[in-house]
């Protein structure tokens, strides 16, 4: 195996890194400048490079680009000072395998190198055998230009350890995106473990993520592996990441920096090899500004963003998705549907789909369950879809969402309002009481979070239409 290439201009650090690597059995060749590093790279063609981004004679990022042009399957671990995290994130987006922020401990350092070596060995054979493609991935359906960009983004990032941050409206397929990243990665044979941070009470979330030992708290009747341990060797998908409690965000940040987990009640931590993918339908930067999400965690997670477009921006994808789902649902329900009528296709193209793909699938399931076929017609669709200017809900709402009711307000405040106005008032007040958390409000109201998201999207559209 080719030696590791270490490019570090600080002599003392170079000596420390060399000592650690050689002590772990690795052969190392070092360089102190960009020019020397490039010369050694051309000579050795290393599988793994440790690269300081701040070099005396050039930019580490420019040097990394040259390396990847010469040998695209090189795994480059960038090393930089804590104040230069933006440079490290840019490097990850440019193709780096992993980044380390100084100071870091020896275990974290060696763990990153070992992962890069292991993944690099598998990658050489797998990439050579894999033809280049730009079509749909995993369970995605749709060939619109905007989705082809998403597929290309997924393929380009899948080989690295870079954390992926998926954003998009409710119902756009964020978990499918996470599964696609996992499926295209070198971890595809490892576990894919999804965890919805908004569906688990905050006092239990730490145990769900990191696990616990028997007797560590009331109700802990047996040892429990957390999601991070279950995902060892694979991918951990943290959905609705912005719902995570601030205290747990601190522990997640520590986990990302050290690759070590410590179950509740455990005396010592242990190392796991996990890739993190997270998702939210909120604006994460707005959550940071509001103080609900740690800024340092945001920058550690928001390395490679992937935004999933709403269905209304995907052109003919709505028809492709509907036709594919029609075949599947017909088989599942024992029906003989084979096509959509021209009128249904026209409606699907013009509809706003506030609930996105999830709403479209529900509409198709509704038609298949209640009818025999063979063609889906307008009459088979839910009533609210057939109405002019239909939205997901036809309940009238007042133009401006009401402010939360003052403490002590009772039934008298609601007298004279329509049932729809009362519903909106109760939902918005409950969300406000939970500091903007839709999942927590949904648990109190005993409804699905997606129901609230859809209603709020409908209210927003009605306000816009009436403006």
Q: Is the peptide bond before 395 cis (omega within 30 degrees of 0)?
A: no
CATH 3.40.50.300 fits 145-307, yes or no: yes
The string of pLDDT tens digits covering residues 346-375 is 999 999 998 999 999 999 999 999 998 799
Domain definitions of the chain by residue range: 4-129, 145-307, 314-386, 411-466
Residue 2 has what pLDDT?
Answer: 81
Could you please report the per-residue DSSP string of 203-228? HHHHHHHHEE-TTSSTT--S-EE-HH
Residue 425 has what pLDDT?
Answer: 86
Q: Compute the distance between CA of residue 374 and CA of residue 68 in angstroms, rounded to an integer.
A: 53
Second-level CATH architecture of 411-466:
Orthogonal Bundle (1.10)
Residue 428 has what pLDDT?
Answer: 85
Residue 398 has what pLDDT?
Answer: 37
Could you please report the per-residue DSSP string of 252-272? HHHHHHH-EE--BT-SS-EE-
CATH topology assigned to domain 4-129: Rossmann fold (3.40.50)
- Report the DSSP beta bridge partners of residue 49: 5, 76
**Domain 314-386, CATH number (from 2.60.120.620, 1.10.8.60, 3.40.1190.20, 3.40.50.620):** 1.10.8.60
Q: Alpha carbon of 341 to those of 333, 347, 374: distances in Å?
A: 20, 10, 10
Residue 394 has what pLDDT?
Answer: 36
Could you please report the per-residue DSSP string of 271-315? E---EEEEEESS-HHHHHHTTSS-HHHHHHH-SEEEEPPPGGGST
Residue 329 has what pLDDT?
Answer: 94
Residue 15 has what pLDDT?
Answer: 95
Residue 465 has what pLDDT?
Answer: 66
Task: Please choose, from the candidates 270, 297, 315, the residue with its C-alpha nearest in 3D space to the C-alpha of residue 107.
Answer: 270
Q: Alpha carbon of 196 to those of 240, 280, 309: distances in Å?
A: 6, 10, 21
- 314-386 shares the fold of 145-307: no
Contact criterion met (CB below 8 Å) for 27 and 51: no
Axis crossing angle, helix 60-70 with helix 34-44, rounded to the nearest 10 = 20
Could you please report the per-residue DSSP string of 166-204? EE--TTS-HHHHHHHHHHHSTTTTS-EEEEETTSS-HHH
Mean pLDDT by 10 residues, the chain (467 residues): 90 94 95 95 94 90 92 90 72 84 84 84 51 63 94 87 92 94 90 91 88 89 93 95 91 89 91 93 91 91 92 95 95 93 94 92 92 91 69 37 45 73 86 77 76 76 66
Contact criterion met (CB below 8 Å) for 143 and 135: yes
Which residues, 6+ apart, have CB-to-CB distance to 149 below 8 Å?
Answer: none
Contact criterion met (CB below 8 Å) for 61 and 94: yes
- Report the DSSP beta bridge partners of residue 239: 196
Which residues, 6+ apart, have CB-to-CB distance to 23 below 8 Å?
Answer: none
CA 78 to chain centre: 23
């Amino acid at each position: 195996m080719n030696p590791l290439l270490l490019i570090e201009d600080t002599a003392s650090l170079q000596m420390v890194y060399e000592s650690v690597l050689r002590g772990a059995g690795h052969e190392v060749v070092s360089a102190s400048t960009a020019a020397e590093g490039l010369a050694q790279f051309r000579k050795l063609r290393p599988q793994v490079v440790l690269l300081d981004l701040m070099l005396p004679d050039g930019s580490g990022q420019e040097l990394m680009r040259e390396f990847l042009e010469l040998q695209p399957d090189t795994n480059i671990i960038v090393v930089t000072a804590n104040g230069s995290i933006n440079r490290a994130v840019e490097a990850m987006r440019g193709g780096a395998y992993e980044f380390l922020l100084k100071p870091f401990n020896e275990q974290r350092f060696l763990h990153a190198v070992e992962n890069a070596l292991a993944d690099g060995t598998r990658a050489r054979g797998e990439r050579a055998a894999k033809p280049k493609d730009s079509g749909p991935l995993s369970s995605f359906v749709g060939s619109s230009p905007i989705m082809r960009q998403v597929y290309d983004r997924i393929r380009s990032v899948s080989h690295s350890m870079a954390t992926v941050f998926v954003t998009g409206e409710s119902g756009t397929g964020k978990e499918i995106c996470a599964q696609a990243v996992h499926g295209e990665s070198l971890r595809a044979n490892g576990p894919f473990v999804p965890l919805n941070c908004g569906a688990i009470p905050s006092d239990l979330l730490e145990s769900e993520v990191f696990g616990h030992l028997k007797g560590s708290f009331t109700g802990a009747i047996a040892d429990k592996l957390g999601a991070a341990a279950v995902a060892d060797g694979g991918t951990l998908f943290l959905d609705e990441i912005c719902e995570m409690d601030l205290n747990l965000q601190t522990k997640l940040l520590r986990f990302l920096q050290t690759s070590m987990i410590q179950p509740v009640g455990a005396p010592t931590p242990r190392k796991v090899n996990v890739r993190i993918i997270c998702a939210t339908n909120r604006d994460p930067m707005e959550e940071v500004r509001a103080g609900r999400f740690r800024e340092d965690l945001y920058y550690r997670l928001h390395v490679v963003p992937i935004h999933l477009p709403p269905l209304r921006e995907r052109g003919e994808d709505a028809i492709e998705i509907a036709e594919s789902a029609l075949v599947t649902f017909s088989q599942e329900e024992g029906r003989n549907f084979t096509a959509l009528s021209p009128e249904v296709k026209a409606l699907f193209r013009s509809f706003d789909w506030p609930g996105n793909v999830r709403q479209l699938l529900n509409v198709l399931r509704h038609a298949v369950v209640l009818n025999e076929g063979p063609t889906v017609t307008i009459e088979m669709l839910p009533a609210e879809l057939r109405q002019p200017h239909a939205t997901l809900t036809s309940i009238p709402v007042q133009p401006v969402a009401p402010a939360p009711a003052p403490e002590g307000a009772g039934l008298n405040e609601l007298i004279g309002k329509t049932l729809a106005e009362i519903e909106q008032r109760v939902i918005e007040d409950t969300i406000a009481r939970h500091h903007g958390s839709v999942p927590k409000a949904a648990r109190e109201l005993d409804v699905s979070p997606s129901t609230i998201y859809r209603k709020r999207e409908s209210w927003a559209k009605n306000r816009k239409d009436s403006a």
